[in-house]
Amino acid sequence: MAYHSSRWIPRNQRLKFQIVNAVFTALVLVPQFYVLGRPKSTRYCRQPLLNNLSTSIAVSFIASGFAVIFTLIDPVPQSLWAAYHVFGLLSCGQGLCTAILTLTAAACAKTTPELYYTSLILTVASTFSTGFFMVRGGLWLTSKRPATEPRRNNE
């Protein structure tokens, strides 16, 4: 979304967009670091939600890096697009893991509530993100589909 949104802004005025991107990144990362640093988060939980949160933080950093790069580089090299799409698939897989771990960790809501509810929020965000990109990908595929000629009725 950062790439497409930044293209509406003239190249010499994208600093404002970079500031908005930095604020958004902080809003995403600060709560994750807060939960990671909580003493309750290290309590026993049957599922490795703490490890998953660490992975989510890493994915968030990489995503924000891609957002910065995409708003600075114009045009974007094909190799960077390829890396971004590989990252997107890995990120989708990480979101799926988050969903599975969260759905099987209901007991952790009592022992590590902040960690469990953060994982639940990340699951919802991942679900919305996956849905958004599935719809977007479907629309892209239908726009790239060759047009067919209408049938003529010779009767």
The predicted-structure confidence for 47-86, as pLDDT tens digits, reads as follows: 899 999 999 999 999 988 888 888 888 788 999 989 988 9
Residue 67 in contact with residue 58, Cβ under 8 Å? no
Cβ contacts of 76 within 8 Å, gap of 6 or more: 3, 70
- Give the tens place of pLDDT for each residue, 75-132: 889 999 899 889 989 999 999 999 999 999 988 888 889 999 999 999 999 999 888 8
Contact partners, residue 66, CB within 8 Å, separation at least 6: 2, 84, 87
Task: Please state the length of the chain.
Answer: 155
Q: What is the pTM of this model?
A: 0.80
Rounded Cα distance between 93 and 112, Å, is: 24
Tally the C-alpha atoms within 13 A of residue 94's C-alpha that lie toward its C-beta: 23
The pLDDT of 20-40, averaged and rounded, is 89
